[in-house]
Structure 1
Amino acid sequence: MLQEVLKKYQSTFKPVIALIHPDEQLLVMDFTASNTILTKATLNNIKKFCNYITRTLKANSCRLGIGGYSEHRTIYAVSPHFDAGEEPRRLHLGIDVWGAAGTPVFAPLNGHIHSFRFNDHFGDYGATIILQHKLEGYTFHTLYGHLSISNLQGLYENMPVVAGQQLGYFGTPAENGGWPPHLHFQLIEDMMKFRGDYPGVCRFSERDKYLQNSPDPDLILQLNGNTHG
């Protein structure tokens, strides 16, 4: 299984997000219905939403927040992007790392540019880069969403990328789909013919199918061991 191969090589992966020191703590952030502080009034106002993230991190003495894999999120109700069809999409398939715009993002292992795109819809990824990697016969992909649009300049498909190379940085709300600055990091086995995009949120009824194709990204990210909250 891919998961076992990734565990085998974990010690060789470079940080996607560089920590200030090895014991730096990240705050676990909750975007489910149980977070009653995060009201619709806050979610519908990007300035208030950004202030909520900044204020919450500061109150907990953290530079970065993290969370979201397999989380059933109510926050997507604010965007029609997630409500097409009879069943809305609410189940999050990646890990989000929240922090300041401009926070650098790096490639964790060697690979090449699979595809990239500016997904310019409210609530979407904004600037997105997808890498393709190979390990022990397994081909898989890593998706980096909510980057700066300037990070797409000069890219081309099949462009080589080396472990530790900076891919970009957290974009601003104006270029990242209208979200507070953060990285959406996702692990994907089969891209299913998608290019520059892949669902980061699915319908709950399709949970098993999508989680099987998008295993826990912390196998590469390796940040959940540095959390509190």
Structure 2
Amino acid sequence: MKTYEQVIRDNASFLGKVIDFNKNFDKLLSLDFTKQNRELTDEILEDTDLFSAWVDKKLNHAEARYGIGGYDEHRTIYSRSAHFDTIEEPRRLHLGVDIWAPAGTPIFNFYDAIVHSFANNNNFGDYGATIILSYEIDGLKFNVLYGHLSLASLDNLYEGKFIAAGKKIAELGAKKENGYWPPHLHFQVINDIEGFKGDYPGVCKFSERTKYLANCPDPNLILKYSFY
């Protein structure tokens, strides 16, 4: 059985876009949300509007269309929400890739899929509107979670619905419907969904890093063919 990495690389030419991006004209900016980023003060992190303005300022200064990054990143930004705190150890390790873009930015399906599940995870700092699609490529089955969407993106969905490659599946949500974050897409590959519906941890304890990264392989293997 081929590995996830082998399957994605072998089928690269069949993978479509996730977000509109022209590599000949558009720029991406890598955003760092670890403790090394000393620009992000508690004041900024505690106010979604200030946080959004900080992201916009960084993108505008770099003349970048989108910000991107985050896989396997140990982040300080989750201190803004009790949703990621546990008694014994807080959850800070990010398991997906984030693409920072304006609310309303369209999201596309990169390959034929079916709807696994969807939900509005409306805790402060959570995913907000969320869609999980199931894929099978060259015999490999896996899921992708699309988080921080608009509530309207959940309209007319049902479990088992077929979504064709290239179809627009969602738009990025504003703060009141995306978990109170600056607008962005959380894109996470999940091998075993473990019985979850419309949700799956996108951030884990650092002590559980090995287990979760094995189940949530690098999304950049998909994104780089249509994005970079």
TM-score, length-scaled by structure 2: 0.96
SS of the residue aligned with 1:179? coil
Cα distance in 2 for residues equivalent to 1:21 and 1:137: 30
Ranges in structure 2 where 5+ consecutive residues have no aligned partner: none
Q: Is the 8 A contact 2:23 2:227 kept in 1?
A: no
Q: Is the 8 A contact 2:15 2:225 kept in 1?
A: no
Q: Is the 8 A contact 2:21 2:227 kept in 1?
A: no
Match for residue 71 of structure 1 among 70, 73, 76:
73
Match for residue 88 of structure 1 among 87, 90, 96:
90
Q: Is the 8 A contact 2:17 2:226 kept in 1?
A: no
In the alignment, does 2:186 pair up with 1:184? Answer: yes
Deviation >6 Å, runs of 4+: none
SS of the residue aligned with 1:90? strand
One-letter code aligned to 1:115? S
Structure-to-structure mapping, 1:70-219, within 5 angstroms: 70-219=72-221
Cα distance in 1 for residues equivalent to 2:28 and 2:6: 26
Q: Is the 8 A contact 2:116 2:134 kept in 1?
A: yes
Cα distance in 2 for residues equivalent to 1:85 and 1:133: 36
Cα distance in 1 for residues equivalent to 2:73 and 2:121: 22
Cα distance in 2 for residues equivalent to 1:179 and 1:46: 6
SS of the residue aligned with 1:174? helix
Ranges in structure 1 where 5+ consecutive residues have no aligned partner: none
TM-score, length-scaled by structure 1: 0.96
Q: How many residues align?
A: 226
Shift of 1:99: 1.0
* Cα distance change, pair 224–37 in 1 and its aligned pair in 2 (3 A): farther
One-letter code aligned to 1:63? R
SS of the residue aligned with 2:201? coil
What is the percent sequence identity of the aligned residues? 49
One-letter code aligned to 1:51? A
One-letter code aligned to 1:138? L
One-letter code aligned to 2:53? N
User: Which residue of the partner structure matches residue 35 of structure 2?
Assistant: 33
Q: Is the 8 A contact 1:218 1:224 kept in 2?
A: no
Shift of 1:6: 1.0
Cα distance in 2 for residues equivalent to 1:224 and 1:10: 9
Q: Is the 8 A contact 2:145 2:188 kept in 1?
A: yes
One-letter code aligned to 2:73? E
C-alpha RMSD over aligned residues? 1.3
User: Which residue of the partner structure matches residue 56 of structure 2?
Assistant: 54
Cα distance in 2 for residues equivalent to 1:156 and 1:22: 37
Q: Is the 8 A contact 1:145 1:183 kept in 2?
A: yes
Q: Is the 8 A contact 1:144 1:184 kept in 2?
A: yes
* Cα distance change, pair 5–15 in 1 and its aligned pair in 2 (3 A): same
Shift of 1:84: 2.1
Larger mean CA deviation between 144-153 and 5-14 belongs to: 5-14
One-letter code aligned to 1:183? L
